[in-house]
Amino acid sequence: MAHIFFDHISTTPVDPRVIEAMLPYFGEKYGNPASHIHDLGQTALRSLDAARGSVARMVGAQPGEIVFTSGATEANNLAIKGAAAGSKDRRHIIVSEVEHFSVLNALLPLRASGFETTVLHVDHDGRVDPDDVRKAIRPDTLLVSVMHANAEIGTIQPVSEIGRIARERGVLFHTDATASAGHIPVDVEAIGADLLTLSAHNFYGPKGIGAIYVRKGTRLESMLDGGFQEGGYRAGTENVPGIVGMAAAAEIAMAESVGWADRLAPLGRQLWDGLEASIPLLHFTGHPKERLPGHVSFWVEHAEGESLLLLLNMQGVMAASGSACSSNLRGHDEEDLVASTVLKAIGVPSDICTGSVTFSMGKDNTGADVAHVLSVLPAIVSRLREMSPTWLDYQKQQGG
């Protein structure tokens, strides 16, 4: 059977070169960098320094500005809560409505403790209007957080414009580059970011490791208190193999990601065109041009998203959906099934938005994968529609 992974936005396979780089750090070079008085600790510490350099270079930062975390969720929480805890008087935060839950939900405890938040709307393509940021900034605004790229709909935000506005107004700018870093250029100077979130498992590195860029001089309180690690921003024994792996992934991305993007962008276009030609009542989501390469997202009328994914999986195609029904099969009750806030934000009608699909290609996908998906999806959609009472009604209506 085919085995086509079109869900790179949820995670990516670790590159074999990354695995090779990490391996010695488990059983041989297993020292704790804090024990740098002896050889094993010293080796670990030096690897840590080197890795910090690689990750810094990936985003145009200084090594001392990179703080390793357990992943993007921690980095986003640290950016928001850490900046808030470090703030004296400014108690207003601006975010977009399409941020990841690790940004949106990090605001909840802050609101409870008196912070005010402005949640910016996005347009039909999922983009924030930089002018809205300008208008939302108040004298007491501490931070603007707008993501670089959205995982679900692929839209890239005008982060440089937003960064410039924040800078002009003396407001911190955080951008969540989880979905973009390693795939499209991410540069903290070009973006004008003071805080920037990175996640290794989203660019062929391991899970359980991420980083936050903290511009020198930015006030940020630690969330994890304890030992002396990570310049005081983040206590805890460093995940040395993970950090080494993240650095290896960063090096690979720096060398190769332009090539990946050059190949994936036309593949994405091919998939887009093929879907458009073969499936009626299909609606693409996200910005048509300003989007992640190889990322194609859409919803179809009269076919439910989870069913689409299950049938695709039976054909060896693994993809994601923003549909409610597939969101959290491990929850405890129906309330845990939350429809995508992103789809609502871009105005997909809620009574039919359940048929959403996100295809996200990775560096190892090929034109044959696209062809396979195009060969199976129309039949899958038809099959589900044939089963659906709403399709029947629609056709009768069309028939006159």
Partner 1 sequence: MAAGPYSEKVMEHFMNPRNVGEIENADGVGEVGNPACGDMMRLYVKVEAGKVSDAKFRTFGCGAAIASSSMLTEMIKGKTIDEARAITNTQVSDALGGLPEVKIHCSVMAEEAVKAALDDYSKKHPG
Ligand X SMILES: Cc1ncc(COP(=O)(O)O)c(C=O)c1O
Terminal-residue alpha carbon distance, the chain: 42
Q: Which of 47, 54, 155, 199 binds ligand X (CB under 6 A)?
A: 199
Nearer to a second copy, 189 or 225 (CB): 225
How far apart are the C-alpha atoms of 134 and 168, rounded to whole Å? 10
**Is residue 366 a contact residue for ligand X (CB under 6 A)?**
no
Classified as helix, coil or strand, 229 is: coil
Q: Which does 304 bind (CB under 5 to 8 A by kind): partner 1, a second copy, ligand X, none?
A: partner 1
Q: What is the four-CA torsion angle of 231, 233, 238, 240, rounded to 10 degrees?
A: -70
What the block records as the tokens of 304 is 């439910």
Q: Which of 90, 173, 100, 84 is nearest to 130 (CA)?
A: 173
Nearer to partner 1, 70 or 388 (CB): 388
Catalytic residue list contains 353: no
Query: For the chain, where are the E strands, in sequence order?
Result: 4-5, 66-69, 92-96, 116-120, 141-145, 172-176, 195-199, 210-214, 282-284, 295-300, 317-318, 356-360
Nearer to a second copy, 178 or 285 (CB): 178
Per CB under 6 A, contacts with ligand X among 42-71 are 71
**Is residue 34 a contact residue for a second copy (CB under 8 A)?**
yes
**Is residue 231 a contact residue for partner 1 (CB under 8 A)?**
no
How far apart are the C-alpha atoms of 363 and 18, rounded to whole Å? 15
Amino acid at 347: G
**Is residue 365 a contact residue for ligand X (CB under 6 A)?**
no
Closest separation in Å from C-beta 47 to partner 1 = 11
Out of 318, 325, 352, 374, the active site residue is: 325
How far apart are the C-alpha atoms of 340 and 327, rounded to whole Å? 8
**Which residues are CB-neighbours of 336 under 8 A, at least 6 positions away?**
327, 328
Nearer to partner 1, 38 or 135 (CB): 38
Closest separation in Å from C-beta 230 to a second copy = 11
Per CB under 6 A, contacts with ligand X among 168-197 are 176, 178-179
Per CB under 8 A, contacts with partner 1 among 295-324 are 302-307, 310, 313-314, 323-324
Q: Which does 240 bind (CB under 5 to 8 A by kind): a second copy, ligand X, partner 1, none?
A: a second copy
**Is residue 239 a contact residue for a second copy (CB under 8 A)?**
yes
Amino acid at 235: A
**Is residue 70 a contact residue for a second copy (CB under 8 A)?**
yes
**Is residue 235 a contact residue for a second copy (CB under 8 A)?**
yes
Nearer to a second copy, 185 or 316 (CB): 316
Closest separation in Å from C-beta 184 to partner 1 = 32
Q: What is the four-CA torsion angle of 152, 158, 164, 169, rounded to 10 degrees?
A: -60
Q: Which residues bind to ligand X, rule: CB under 6 A?
A: 71-73, 76, 100, 102, 147, 151, 176, 178-179, 199, 227, 236-237
Catalytic residues: 325
